[in-house]
Amino acid sequence: MHCCLTHDMLAVTIQEDAKTFYFLQNIAAKNFTKKIGRKEKMIIFKEPEETVQRRYFLKLISKIYLREHNDQTQASIIENAIDKSIKISLLKPNQVIQKMSIRIAIEDNYAVIFDLGSHNTLFASYLKSYFKDHLVRIRPKNGTITLYPNSDQTAMLLDKLLAQKELFGSYVEFHYDRAHYEAYTRTLMAKKIRRNRHNALFSLLEDYFGILGCKIEDSFEIVRSNYLALVKKYHPDSCGLYDGDLHVKYVAKFQEVQTAYEMVKMHFQNSERCIA
């Protein structure tokens, strides 16, 4: 038995021991719902509701590995791979390890196309699980899989995938224009930075609207009406000059309202310029 651990998968290769492979395959069939496989390969994907049986399954694999190799450190790594997908393959005598050659292209500087030449159900299912929360479109007729990025993690996930040399018992080689790909991932990260900056500014703008007792979708007329009412209410002169603490609070609130109004007014002015 040979085990390899990547950032998202525990790959177990059983060499010339069909009895052990089919024993594990039978247990997996009875205990796990989210899995795919062929006669001599299977992948068990992570499923939060199946953590208990996954823990026992990994403990079993760990014991089998320990029996063959007497390597307690590696056995412990196997037993603790709870958050990984599990791939188990049977390698028969004189069996040649397959090689996948995958061409990658960027479409419209957005979608990523994996061209396998022919449909590969195992790889397609793996990609859908690997890029969870992304739209992954599978086209069996022309052997392509298209990934549509929608997450800040897309570039990182792509980098880790393309660094792989082996997937589910097969050698894998990705062919792509490195310069084009690096420019593409830089674009993704730049979009992330712009989006983060926009989200921060939007959140701050919401706070300013809130100080004025408004919602961000309110018109400037409503904002100005609320502003005039607030400056009248919190003008320092309105509380008299006898209560020092109250005077300080009114001054602070008055200044807060003034600042919020100026920022919101600037927002409306910028919006009008964009429309014009």
Instruction: Quote the tokens at residue 221.
Output: 């007329």
At 115, is the pLDDT very low, low, confident or very high (cuts 50, 70, 90)? very high
Mean per-residue pLDDT of the chain: 81
CATH class of segment(s) 196-275: mainly alpha
| Mean pLDDT to the nearest integer, 9-18 | 81
**Per-residue model confidence as pLDDT tens digits over 215-270:** 888 888 998 999 999 988 887 776 655 556 677 777 778 888 888 888 888 878 77
As a whole-number percent, the residues of the chain with pLDDT over 90 amount to: 6
- CA distances (Å), origin 98, targets 43, 149, 165, 168, 169: 17, 29, 12, 10, 8
Residue 87 pLDDT > 80: yes
Instruction: Quote the tokens at residue 237.
Output: 């002169």
Mark 118-131 as b/e (b = at least 16 C-beta within 10 Å).
eebebbbbbbbbbb
Q: What pLDDT is stored for residue 103 in this prediction?
A: 92
Q: What pLDDT is stored for residue 11 in this prediction?
A: 84
Q: What pLDDT is stored for residue 94 in this prediction?
A: 61
Q: What pLDDT is stored for residue 114 in this prediction?
A: 93
Which strand (E) or helix (H) includes residue 203?
A: helix 178-211
**Per-residue model confidence as pLDDT tens digits over 230-241:** 988 887 776 655
Q: What pLDDT is stored for residue 240 in this prediction?
A: 59
Domain boundaries along the sequence of the chain: 2-91, 99-176, 196-275
DSSP 122-159: HHHHHHHHHTTTSEEEEETTTTEEEEE--STTHHHHHH
Instruction: Mean pLDDT check: name the lowest of 18-32, 103-117, 159-173.
Output: 159-173
The topology (CATH level 3) of 99-176 is Alpha-Beta Plaits (3.30.70)
> How buried is residue 196: exposed, middle or buried, by Cβ count under 10 Å (0-12/13-18/19+)?
exposed
**Per-residue model confidence as pLDDT tens digits over 32-78:** 888 887 777 888 888 888 889 999 999 999 998 888 888 888 888 88
